[in-house]
Amino acid sequence: MAEETIFSKIIRREIPADILYQDNLVTAFRDIRPKMPSHMLIVTNQIIPTVNDITADHEAVLGRLFTVAVKIAQQEGIDKNGYRLIVNCNRHGCQEIYHLHMHLLGGQQLGPIVP
The catalytic residues are: 101
What are the strands, taking DSSP E only, across the chain? 19-22, 26-30, 38-44, 83-86, 101-106
Core vs surface per residue 77-106: b (16+ CB within 10 A) or e: ebeeeebeeeebbeeeeebeebbbbbbbbb
Backbone φ and ψ for 38, nearest 5 degrees, come out as: -115, 115
Residue 37: helix, strand or coil by DSSP?
coil
Cβ 8 vs Cβ 2: under 8 Å: no
